[in-house]
């Protein structure tokens, strides 16, 4: 691949940018934490939320925030939760662990439950187990009054059905969470927006062959858009194929600005404000 010969592009001239989704404990970027956070700050990214996907990474996310929060002024937060890939690992002990962590959420700077949801693309856990674990964590989100980070891939109908069922039972918060790395159609996004969800945009929005996600952005009201990297995955153009890091979130913000027809600094400000409202920072 020719990727390794390219130099990454680091957008400059911004401030107050919020990367709402970066797996900073991932080995690919963890070793280099200091440099990664310095580059984020140089690119104007001063707030990052570190999401988890199982019990182990929940601990890693909490530890990462504990260790690096405040480094040169950066503001770090995290989430705890069990990803659909890991649904098979979810036991009563896991639930107790999550509830315990969330009972000390201020101390740990935990601002969300997640990633939770359904993934029928990889099917790493049986689908009925995924649905069961999704329902259990939805209940936790409602009862403990904490928004969640939704991961959904190739499971749209079941996902919407389970969310609607929770809503019908009065068990969904008014602003339930964020549809992370949105890959759904505009029609489904509209349903999620009606349920109070925010929509998370990342690298794929900038990919030249992606015709669907710009259409979702178009129908998404300004006050529901958040920017994320999903570091270390899915680096945005022109850094596609490289290891992703929070500094690159501004490339997503620039694309949002371009498609919405506003100045990038304005898009940076609004997406950060939305993230702060959603995660109650
Ligand atoms: Zn993620």
Question: CA-CA distance, 222 to 270, in Å (whole number)?
Answer: 8
DSSP secondary structure string for all residues of 182-206: --S-HHHHHHHHHTT-EEEE-GGGG
Tens digits of per-residue pLDDT, 199-232?
Answer: 999 999 999 999 999 999 999 999 999 999 999 9
Look at residue 121 and give its three-state secondary structure: coil
DSSP secondary structure string for all residues of 42-60: HTTEEEEEE--SSHHHHHH
Question: CA-CA distance, 238 to 9, in Å (whole number)?
Answer: 7
Residues in the chain: 281
Tell how far the Cα of 84 is from the centroid of ligand 1, in angstroms. 11
CA distances, 33 to each of 18, 25, 79, 97, 244 (Å): 17, 9, 18, 27, 13
Cβ atoms 254, 268 nearer than 8 A: no
pLDDT of 1 higher than 60: no
Cis peptide before 115 (omega within 30 of 0): yes
Domains present along the chain, CATH in parentheses: 12-278 (3.20.20.140)
Tens digits of per-residue pLDDT, 5-26?
Answer: 689 999 999 999 999 999 999 9
Burial class (CB in 10 A: 0-12, 13-18, 19+), 14: buried
CA-CA-CA-CA torsion for 54, 40, 200, 186, nearest 10 degrees?
-140
Question: CA-CA distance, 275 to 281, in Å (whole number)?
Answer: 8
Tens digits of per-residue pLDDT, 94-118?
Answer: 999 999 999 999 999 999 999 999 9
Tens digits of per-residue pLDDT, 125-154?
Answer: 999 999 999 999 999 999 999 999 999 999
Cβ atoms 163, 137 nearer than 8 A: no
Question: CA-CA distance, 85 to 87, in Å (whole number)?
Answer: 6
Tell how far the Cα of 265 is from the centroid of ligand 1, in angstroms. 25
Tell how far the Cα of 62 is from the centroid of ligand 1, in angstroms. 15
Sheet with 148-153: list strands edge to edge: 17-19, 45-50, 75-80, 110-119, 148-153, 177-179, 198-201, 225-227
Tell how far the Cα of 170 is from the centroid of ligand 1, in angstroms. 28
pTM above 0.85, yes or no: yes
Tell how far the Cα of 23 is from the centroid of ligand 1, in angstroms. 6
């Amino acid at each position: 691949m020719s990727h390794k010969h390219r130099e990454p592009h680091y957008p400059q001239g911004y401030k107050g940018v919020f990367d709402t989704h970066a797996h900073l404990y991932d080995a690919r970027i963890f070793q280099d934490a200091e440099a990664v956070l310095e580059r984020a700050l140089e690119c104007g990214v001063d707030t990052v939320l570190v999401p988890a996907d199982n019990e182990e990474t929940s601990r890693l996310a909490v530890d990462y925030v504990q260790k690096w929060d405040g480094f040169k002024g950066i503001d770090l937060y995290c989430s705890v939760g069990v990803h659909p890939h890991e649904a098979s690992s979810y036991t009563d002990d896991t639930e107790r662990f999550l509830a315990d962590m969330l009972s000390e959420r201020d101390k740990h700077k935990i601002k969300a439950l997640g990633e939770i949801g359904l993934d029928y693309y990889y099917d790493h856990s049986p689908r009925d187990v995924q649905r069961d674990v999704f329902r259990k964590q939805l209940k936790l989100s409602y009862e403990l009054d904490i928004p969640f980070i939704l991961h959904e891939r190739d499971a749209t109908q079941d996902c919407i059905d389970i969310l609607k069922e929770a809503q019908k039972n009065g068990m969904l918060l008014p602003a339930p969470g964020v549809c992370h790395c949105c890959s759904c159609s505009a029609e489904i996004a509209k349903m999620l927006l009606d349920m109070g969800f925010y929509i998370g945009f990342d690298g794929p929005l900038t990919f030249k062959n992606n015709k669907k996600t710009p259409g979702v952005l178009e129908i998404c009201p300004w006050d529901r858009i958040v920017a994320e990297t999903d570091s270390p995955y899915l680096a945005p153009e022109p850094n596609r194929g490289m290891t992703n890091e929070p500094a690159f979130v501004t490339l997503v913000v620039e694309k949002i600005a371009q498609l919405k027809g506003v100045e990038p600094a304005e898009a940076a400000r609004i997406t950060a404000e939305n993230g702060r409202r959603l995660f109650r920072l």
